[in-house]
Structure 1
Amino acid sequence: MRNSPHAMISVPTMACGSTSDCDMLVVMLTTIILSFLAGVWGGNGIPHFVRGITKQDYPSALGSGPLPNLVAGWLALATTPLWLLWSPAADHPVAAWISGSLGVLAIGLFHAGPGAFGRSTGNRG
């Protein structure tokens, strides 16, 4: 087993064919996973930030009022780039963009569907 410099997971060399194939696979998977999480993290920050600056209640981990939502949204948006800094996104920019976009879509569908904590926050026409 060989440890990849980009991730804290061990990959058996014989499963990939060669060490360089394994390294490329780990880098690609790391890019996809961390970019997806960046999309989810940043996309989740948007409704909280918007609810906070428009002084509306919305359920969040920090509380349901406008101020906790503003802080939660700002924190999410401010820390989203860290996910990309931790990933080797520059090695696979197209995969990073697609994966990040799918992360934003996933959290958007969550907020548009069941919403945070399964509660509706307004009229659904």
Structure 2
Amino acid sequence: MTNHKRRQIYITEFDLDRLEDLIEKHRAKTSRDTRNLDELEQELGKAEVVSPESIPPDVITMNSRVRLEDADSGHATVYTLVFPADADVEKGKISILAPIGTAMIGYRVGDKITWDVPGGQKNLAVKEILYQPESAGDYHL
């Protein structure tokens, strides 16, 4: 994952606790996801941690459903950012441990996401948050 400009990302205390547990459990049982775990840990390390009630409503949090637009093709896709056990690519449920999932966490509407893919780089724009658990009052999803 590559970010051309530094931006402040936000994460809820609840998501931070669950993601730190996820990282710890995955590190203990496998080395397969080491790069993704390292990148997620880096993202979390630079995040501003806030209470679920004070997260801005335009921030991608865990279980948020968002519309992203490919900057090159203009094609829009809806994704839900989920924990690995809930991932289902066919249903648009992207794991936080997938490169795009790690890249999405903490971004806001209007932000550009750039990450490395086998063929080079992919550029997406965060167009809309269709559902964010915190703004819907679902603080423990």
- TM-score (norm. length: structure 1): 0.29
More strand by share: 2
TM-score if structure 2 supplies the norm length?
A: 0.27
Structure number with higher helix proportion: 1
* Rg (Cα) greater in structure: 1
